[in-house]
Chains A and B, each alone.
Chain A
Amino acid sequence: MPATVTSISPRRAGGPSRTPQPPRRPFRDNPRLILAGIGVLVGVLVALLVLASGTSRFSPDFLSEFVLYALSAADLTMLAALVFVLARNIIKLVVERRKALPFARFRAKLVALLLGMTLVPTVLVLIVGSELIRTNIDRWFNAPMAEILSSANQIAGDYYQEQQMLASDHANRLARMLAAVDLTNADVRPIRDVLAPDVTLQRVQMVEVYRVVPSAGSLPSLESVVDVAAPSLPPGYSRAAADRLAAQALAGSAEARSIETLGSSGDLLHAAAVIRSKEGRATGVVVATAYLTGDLAARSRRMTQAFESYNQLRVLKRPLTGLYLSFFLMVTLLILFGATWMGSYLAKRITRPVLMLAAAAREIGAGRLDQRVEPQSNDEFGSLVEAFNAMAGELAASRRKVDRGTIDLERKHVEVEGRRRYIETILERITTGVVSVDAAGAITTINSAAARLLSLSPQIVGQPVIAVFDRLDLRPLGALMAGAQRAKTEPTAHEIALAREGQELHLAAVATALVGESGAAEGVVLVLDDVTPLIRAQKVAAWREVARRLAHEIKNPLTPIQLSAERLRRHFSTAPPQAKALVDECTATIVGEVESLKGLVDEFSQFARMPSPRTVPTDLAQLITDTIALYNGIFTDVRIEQRFAPGVPLVMLDPEQVRRVIINLVDNSIEAMERRGQIVVETQLDAANNVVRVIVADNGPGIPPAEREKLFLPYYSTKRRGSGLGLAIVRRIIAEHGGSIDVGDNTPRGTRFTIELPC
């Protein structure tokens, strides 16, 4: 019994699901109903056989009418059903085959094979059996039997005829004899005397005489006069038949004879004759009765019945033959019907579990690994189904493992990706430059800070570090990285100075070798920090300390020197003119230099102890205008132009300190232009960055790029005289305001100082 697939249980959480079954038909898929159907079929066959065996007891009339009708109808119905089932199955198989449904060809072959195995022998048996039936039925009706039965019937019929004729003859004779007798006479002895001899001599067993009773306006009636019966007559017979026959005879009916059956007692053969007078008028009726004993009548009846049965069978030979053929056909159709149905059923039963497996395999192939098939038998199909389920279970478990791994991997990837983006963001945003090199010496990453600091393009990623860092200014860094790869000690910071557009850039560089878990070198990471402002601040702080100490140490002796010089002048004011002139000149020189030293010391003091700005909202344009107004009429060859951007808001600044800045810058410009040229002082508003720019530009000789960085250092000056602290103080003031100052070339020539202040 092939494995059958039972109903699929509903999928529960965590449990495997079952492949959808083909539609289950309540009858075909229920073994009990199938067995019941087979039982009904067998019952019908048995009933047919019983009916067929009992056909000999039924009359041919009944057989040819009712039984043949029933069988014909049943045969037609069965034939119709069989043709319908066959056609349906064949069409279905053809359609399934055309649609290339799974196992359609196998099923078609199986059904065709079963049908062929059943149909061919069944039809052969039908043909041969039909011929046998026809031939054997013909044999029933042979000439000798027909002659025997016909002769027997003839003998019986002739005897009855003869007895009836004799009775009729006797009735006529008695009627003639009674014509001369007065029937109306009450005395019946004369009549009895006429009748008695016939009864005594057994010519007839009974004679009845009726007289005609005329009635006015209606037909005459008969009245019984006398009857003479032989003692051999069976008791209990009725005179009704004789009375009817007498009435018929009087009415002129041609039927003057009748037979009255007394059942097992025998038959009475009546014959009537009308008694007529000389005038021909009917005066009475005589009925003579012959008696046939029970045995004789029964034997005669049997002979006749045998003859009639035989002839009836012969007459109904065709319907009876059809009846037996119908039986045969019915059984054949039942067998064919059963075979057709069984073939289709078996084909489905065999292919269904395989179909289930194929469907489940497709589902699993589509990724639904929770599909299972439920085995219904313990045979090879059941083993196949169990093996399939085990395989599906293992596939599902592996898939789940893979899925879990994938999920973990994805989560880790997301984490790594996030971390990478975080690090990338940090690397891109930080001001520290980072350059990484892999073990092969190729640059793997360079952030924007490093590219900016080293003036390198981000497209150098992938290029060999040796080639990139072979540039003259970058060679120290290249050597540093090479040294880090070789070094076994902890990395240390190195300060490297690079020249950038004439300015010095100080970088704190640390090169660290990357080592993998196995100890293999995986590359080098170079970290760069721009320490130029730090260096500058350190320098400034150092200079400020120097300035403070110098101011303190130098300032003290200056006053006594100045006082002493003034004292000498006053003492030698009365000296001779030559001596007084010499003393005056020397003391003036001393006092002048002391004043100059004091001014220098004051500047040093200022530089050392710059007060915090006292900021107030200030109209920058107005401040500049007021400051530039101080130069009016002083330098005639210097033109100072003012340009102010509209909408510049009030800026929080210390007006005094900013004025000093502007004066310093303008003074430097005048000095650089040798008091001849143009100076433009303008303001710009950068609202996006909340910055106000003050630009002081001249058309002087300009400042070489190499000198620009040193401009803001203390004691650096290109002027013949001066402390060299002016721009340092300017930078300090701007820095205290939260701004910045930068120097660059003016267009077409000259120098341009740009101050940015927050607004």
Chain B
Amino acid sequence: MQPRKHEGTKKATKKAKAFSFSCLRVFVVAWVCVGVGRAATIDDLVPDIRVTPIERDGQVLVSFDLSDGFTPDVRDAIQSGLSTSFSYEVELRRGSPLLDRTVASVTITATVRFDNLTRRYQMSRTLDGRVEDARPTEDRESVRGWMTHFERIPLSTTSALEANVEYYVRVRAHARPHNAWFFWPWGSTVLGQAKFTFIQ
């Protein structure tokens, strides 16, 4: 009787585990597919950031403008005194958008906080976490430009590039704080990209 009990128990446990793992696999695959689909959907959005890469003096410089980034919700958040940031992930990539590799990247964050008492904006910019600039202003337009317009941000040296190869610069923008009902893991991302061929 003992051998039959052990065989039956082992078989049933194996079956139960196999069944659970099957369900889990199906589930994870479905979840990933949704995420990939969502990511793909995001990647297929019409870009709202104008990106202009140039090569100058042995460097790849990027200028970009988030023209429609200063929405009424953003203005409202700034005016309420919330510390509002626009983070830009700038990447220099090689290859097709789906199968590529990153050559260089940089993260720029522009932050502004309005003091309703002094009616002054305190602006700051960081580059890869280092504070590059900080200044106060009372001019609202200055704030808009500070947050959305960037000129000639150094991205990479040309020595890292191969001649006659197509590259593209991709810029993702995230705003904080988020003003959504639910924090979707893939977030709401504004995207812009531009291709160029490095000719030596």
Interface residues of A (CB under 8 A from B): 8, 10-11, 17-18, 20-25, 60-61, 64-65, 68-69, 71-73, 75-76, 80, 83-84, 87-88, 91-92, 153, 156-157, 160-161, 255, 258-259, 300-301, 304, 307-308, 311-312, 314-316, 318-319, 321-322, 325-326, 368, 370-371
Contact = CB atoms under 8 A, between A and B. Distances in A.
Contacts of B137: 255
Given A69-B183, A91-B23, A255 B1 contact: no
A671 B136 CA distance: 173
18 contacts: A8-B1, A11-B1, A11-B2, A17-B1, A20-B5, A20-B8, A24-B9, A68-B182, A72-B182, A72-B185, A84-B23, A88-B23, A92-B19, A153-B117, A255-B138, A315-B82, A370-B1, A371-B1
Given A23-B13, A308-B80, A311-B80, A84 B27 contact: yes
B73 A315 contact: yes
Nearest to A20: B5
Give 8 closest A-B pairs by Cβ, nearest first.
A311-B80, A308-B81, A72-B183, A17-B1, A20-B5, A322-B181, A23-B13, A304-B117
Given A11-B2, A60-B82, A88-B20, A322 B182 contact: yes
Contacts of A68: 178, 182-183
A255 B1 CA distance: 93
B117 A80 contact: no
A308 B178 CA distance: 17
Main SS of chain A's interface residues? helix
A497 B167 CA distance: 135
A73 B117 contact: no
A157 B184 contact: no
Interface of B: 1-2, 4-5, 8-10, 12-13, 16, 19-20, 23-24, 27, 31, 73, 76-77, 79-83, 115-120, 135-138, 176-185
Nearest to B142: A254
Contacts of A65: 176-178
Contacts of A71: 183
Contact of A87 (B1, B9, B27, B116): B27
Given A11-B1, A83-B27, A157-B117, A316 B13 contact: no
Contacts of A259: 118, 120
B145 to A, nearest CB: 15
Contact of A61 (B1, B8, B12, B82): B82
A255 B135 CA distance: 10
Given A84-B24, A87-B27, A322-B181, A301 B117 contact: yes
Nearest to A22: B12
Contact of A10 (B2, B10, B23, B118): B2
A312 B19 contact: no
A80 B179 contact: no
A297 to B, nearest CB: 9
A71 B178 CA distance: 14
A73 B183 contact: yes
Select the residue from B24, B27, B77, B82 with max chain A CB neighbours within 10 A: B82
A23 B116 contact: no
B176 to A, nearest CB: 7
Given A64-B177, A91-B23, A255-B135, 10 more contacts: A23-B9, A71-B183, A88-B19, A255-B138, A258-B136, A307-B116, A316-B82, A316-B179, A319-B178, A321-B181
